[in-house]
Amino acid sequence: MTIEEVQNDIIDEFSMFDDWEERYQYMIDLGKTLPLIDEKHKTDDHIIKGCQSKVWVHAEMLNDKIEFTADSDAIITKGIIAILIRVFSNQHPKDIIEANTDFIDKIGLKEHLSPTRANGLVSMIKQLKMYAIAYQTQLN
């Protein structure tokens, strides 16, 4: 699936819920399905700076695509990173770099987060794209 197709699936899934209580619960459930980072990668080198909670992300290049794993010490934050990893994992670095993240506004996520969590969301996206830039540089 392309990044846009995954984003459209997420928009469709979130549109099934009437209120934000249900959407938060769905995010928590998504966090439980997150491909967990190996404990050896739970180091300061893998922590996303700018998040109130601890969020660790590891990226690995497999067959010209980046595979992400992650974890967080907070359930909502774990759900947020799970959504982002679902969108960006197993994609080519170039596609990740060029990806639009409007789907976040379309599902209403940013407006329903506290300012610190919204800043953390931006930091997560930035870090995932930085991994993509680093891998894209290696490919060139």
* Locus of tokens 């974890």: 71
- Is-catalytic flag, 93? no
Give the orientation angle of helix 20-32 with respect to helix 75-88, to 10 degrees.
70
Catalytic annotation, pick one of 10, 51, 104, 121: 51
Instruction: Give CA–CA dist 101/128, Å, rounded.
Output: 12
Q: Which amino acid is it at 138?
A: Q
Question: Residues 1, 92: contact at Cβ < 8 Å?
Answer: no
Active site residues: 51
